[in-house]
């Protein structure tokens, strides 16, 4: 649970299936996170860091650890 009382998770925007397109709170389309569905993912280190920074703070109210970021990317490139 978030300190603002709302339940947020990565899946709130990115959906629970990373092969699907997601949506922001403003209803803007987010391309799939899994590299099988979106080969552009994780090709730009600055972009990856920028969004981990924003989204981890948004969801977890802290930065993600290198371990967490590694696990997340590992998972998304392993989805078939």
Q: Which of 2, 16, 24, 61 binds ligand HEC (CB under 6 A)?
A: 24
Instruction: Tell me if 17 sits within 8 A of 30, measured CB to CB.
Output: no
Asked if 78 is part of the footprint of ligand HEC (rule: CB under 6 A), the reply reads no
Q: Give residue 66's Cα distance to chain centre.
A: 14
Whole-angstrom distance, CA of residue 61 vs CA of residue 63 = 7
- Nearer to ligand HEC by C-beta: 30 or 37? 30
Whole-angstrom distance, CA of residue 78 vs CA of residue 70 = 12
Q: Which of 21, 37, 58, 79 binds ligand HEC (CB under 6 A)?
A: 58
Ranges within 3-22 binding ligand HEC (CB under 6 A)? 8, 10, 12-14
């Amino acid at each position: 649970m978030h300190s603002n009382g709302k339940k947020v998770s990565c899946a709130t925007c990115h959906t629970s299936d990373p092969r699907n397109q997601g949506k922001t709170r403003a209803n803007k389309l987010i391309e799939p996170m899994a590299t099988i569905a979106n080969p552009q993912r994780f090709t730009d280190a600055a972009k990856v860091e920028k969004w981990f920074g924003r989204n981890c703070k948004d969801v977890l109210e802290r930065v993600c650890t290198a371990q967490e970021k590694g696990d997340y990317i590992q998972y998304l490139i392993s989805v078939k």
